[in-house]
Structure 1
Amino acid sequence: MNDLTWRRANGGLIAPAATTLSARVEAMSPLLPPRTVIGRRTAAWIWGLDVLPPGAGQADWKIELLVPPGSEIDHPGCESFEATLPPEHVTVESGVRVTTPERTALDCARWLPRREAVAALDQFLRDGVDLTSLAELAAPAGYRRSKRLRAALDAADRGAESPGESWTRVIVIDAGFPRPRTQVPVMGPHGAWVYVDLGYEDLHVGLEYDGERHHSGTAARDHDQRRRRWLRDEMGWDVIPVSRDFLGRPAPYLEALLTAMLARGWSPPDETMDTIATRLFRLRHPVGRQVR
């Protein structure tokens, strides 16, 4: 018996010594009851997409199982969710029974927190899933399209190139700003296009998410600064860089965005301004924190 083999003991399953989520799923799959399917975030991982919560480690992530109503698999390495799955929502990938990409995308959109739900949808769309087909799949009875799902579908955008960009876009939209365009093309200095992560073309105002993976280190930071300086001086763009702390403290960045947009001539209706002002106040003064 190798390290990746799950064993039955005392009516349960003994986990293997696998260190990756994919290996644990592959080892467990042959032992699952016939109508049990890998789903949700775990299914997304099988499809090559990382929609685990920020900071979560895949080696410790519980395998999410979709089981028939009234069933349950009680094991600390797994988490069971009751679901009635039409046959067309299930397929086999790498020898594992798993929800189809479309069904997986919808399940993520339904059950994940809003920012993560939209980021997951963005990844699925970028990977080739069609947004129209998702809406059609959500319509039939038994898989009712909820407000939560509809809001996630409406906010999805295949142009996002990272979860950080998706989270940033959702925060901007939820703060009351117009929906920014993703990957705004700007003609570069040598005839090649330069793309602003999120932006308002008519105002030449944008935001860019500087993730740790691609924007850390002196060389990367110097490149970003030169690029944004060129966008400002030569093309008239005001690009606001945001980093991971934007997710926890968005108010200063959103205030900078509002200032830049107003300075460039944005003239929103009073109702929009009231909405933004109210939401910025709430972000500055969360419930439970005394305002002096």
Structure 2
Amino acid sequence: MPDNQAFSHATAAAVWQLSLPNALLDPARDLDVGVLAPARHPRRIGIVGHQLQSHLVTVVEHRGLRVTDPSSTWASMGSVLTSDYELIGLGDSIVRERIFRDDRDPIATLDQLIAIVGAGRWAGVRRLRSAVGRVRTRSASAGETRSRCVIVDAGLPEPSLNVVVRDGYGNLVAVVDLAYEDLKIAVEYEGDQHRTDPEQWAKDIARHEQLAAMGWIVIRVTRAQLYGAPHTVIARVRAALARRSR
């Protein structure tokens, strides 16, 4: 790879280990390679070439590879991702602050994402402008991002993210995915790992029972519900809000 080239777009996002749809992580997918203008983008079998504008893109080394930096990688995905929720989720995974012990530090800030969107004419810039205003720093997964967006797009209040709940003695009970803390309503996204890991499943049950004993309404959301029947999720959240607002 010449010095004026770098991995970009979905390939760069994968190198940065960001939240991506499975289709973009297919090992058989062609690699995205960008070249700094005015050079022409590369044309080879197994390569999708892109021309990169040097005033928009910063190239860095990560994991031994030359890649576009996190902010410009996110901006480039405005022309790749077809779902606004996926674009927001990608931004969430870039700016996510450390919530749990094993979390890494954020690899860019929300201000950097806002700045890169305003730096020039990106493909899909209107989608980027809309998405960046919805990026949050405390979303821990794509499922949590989609849950939040589905709820908000239904006209319901935006819940807080990864809220720490303690008992009367100050002991940690749970870190709730999404919460209306004042109303004691929790929305927990149950990814596949919760269902397939017996130990995790047992911990989930115990945690939710303890939350219920403390007066919380716990709404458990599965992937099938969120992606296949989001109206059922909205109805349950709306009913819980109505119940607590009486």
TM-score w.r.t. length of structure 1: 0.71
Query: Given that residues 71 and 82 in structure 1 are in contact (C-alpha distance below 8 angstroms), is that contact kept between their aligned partners in structure 2?
Result: yes
Correspondence list, 1:151-190, <5 A: 151-188=130-167
What's 1:9 paired with? none
- Report the RMSD for the aligned CA atoms in angstroms: 2.6
Q: 1:240 to 1:154 in 2, by over 3 A?
A: same
Query: Given that residues 75 and 122 in structure 2 are in contact (C-alpha distance below 8 angstroms), is that contact kept between their aligned partners in structure 1?
Result: no
Determine if the alignment matches structure 1 residue 89 to structure 2 residue 71.
Answer: no
CA shift, 1:110, in A, is 5.7
Query: Given that residues 205 and 237 in structure 1 are in contact (C-alpha distance below 8 angstroms), is that contact kept between their aligned partners in structure 2?
Result: yes
Work out the CA distance in 2 between the residues paired with 1:56 and 1:230: 39
What's 1:149 paired with? 128
Work out the CA distance in 2 between the residues paired with 1:206 and 1:161: 15
Q: Give the secondary-structure state (helix, strand or coil) at the position aligned to 1:74.
A: coil
Work out the CA distance in 2 between the residues paired with 1:189 and 1:147: 47
What's 2:88 paired with? 118
Work out the CA distance in 1 between the residues paired with 2:114 and 2:78: 11
**Comparing 148-157 with 72-81, which one deviates more in the overlay?**
72-81
Determine if the alignment matches structure 1 residue 102 to structure 2 residue 71.
Answer: yes
What amino acid sits opposite 2:29 in the alignment? W
**1:95-141 deviation line (CA, Å, top 9, x unaligned):** 43211122112223564221111111111102241111221232234
Work out the CA distance in 1 between the residues paired with 2:163 and 2:79: 29
Determine if the alignment matches structure 1 residue 218 to structure 2 residue 192.
Answer: no
CA shift, 1:181, in A, is 0.7
Q: How many residues align?
A: 233
Bigger RCO of structures 1 and 2 (CA < 8 A, at least 6 apart): 2
- The structure number with the bigger radius of gyration is 1
Q: 1:105 to 1:229 in 2, by over 3 A?
A: same
**Comparing 240-249 with 62-71, which one deviates more in the overlay?**
62-71
Q: 1:137 to 1:242 in 2, by over 3 A?
A: same
Q: Give the secondary-structure state (helix, strand or coil) at the position aligned to 2:234.
A: helix
Work out the CA distance in 1 between the residues paired with 2:177 and 2:73: 26
Work out the CA distance in 1 between the residues paired with 2:27 and 2:167: 42
Q: Give the secondary-structure state (helix, strand or coil) at the position aligned to 1:59.
A: coil
Q: 1:129 to 1:93 in 2, by over 3 A?
A: same
* Overall identity of the aligned pairs, in %: 27
Q: 1:103 to 1:212 in 2, by over 3 A?
A: same
Determine if the alignment matches structure 1 residue 230 to structure 2 residue 210.
Answer: yes
What's 1:52 paired with? 20
Unpaired runs of at least 5, structure 2: 97-105
Determine if the alignment matches structure 1 residue 80 to structure 2 residue 49.
Answer: yes
Work out the CA distance in 1 between the residues paired with 2:108 and 2:31: 23
What's 2:221 paired with? 242
What amino acid sits opposite 1:59 in the alignment? P
What amino acid sits opposite 1:225 in the alignment? I
Query: Given that residues 111 and 117 in structure 1 are in contact (C-alpha distance below 8 angstroms), is that contact kept between their aligned partners in structure 2?
Result: no
Determine if the alignment matches structure 1 residue 202 to structure 2 residue 182.
Answer: yes
Query: Given that residues 191 and 222 in structure 2 are in contact (C-alpha distance below 8 angstroms), is that contact kept between their aligned partners in structure 1?
Result: yes
CA shift, 1:59, in A, is 1.8
CA shift, 1:76, in A, is 4.3
**Comparing 105-114 with 245-254, which one deviates more in the overlay?**
105-114
Query: Given that residues 189 and 220 in structure 2 are in contact (C-alpha distance below 8 angstroms), is that contact kept between their aligned partners in structure 1?
Result: yes
**Comparing 248-257 with 168-177, which one deviates more in the overlay?**
168-177
Determine if the alignment matches structure 1 residue 260 to structure 2 residue 229.
Answer: no
CA shift, 1:160, in A, is 1.2
Unpaired runs of at least 5, structure 1: 1-29, 267-292
What's 2:29 paired with? 61
Q: 1:251 to 1:52 in 2, by over 3 A?
A: same
TM-score w.r.t. length of structure 2: 0.83
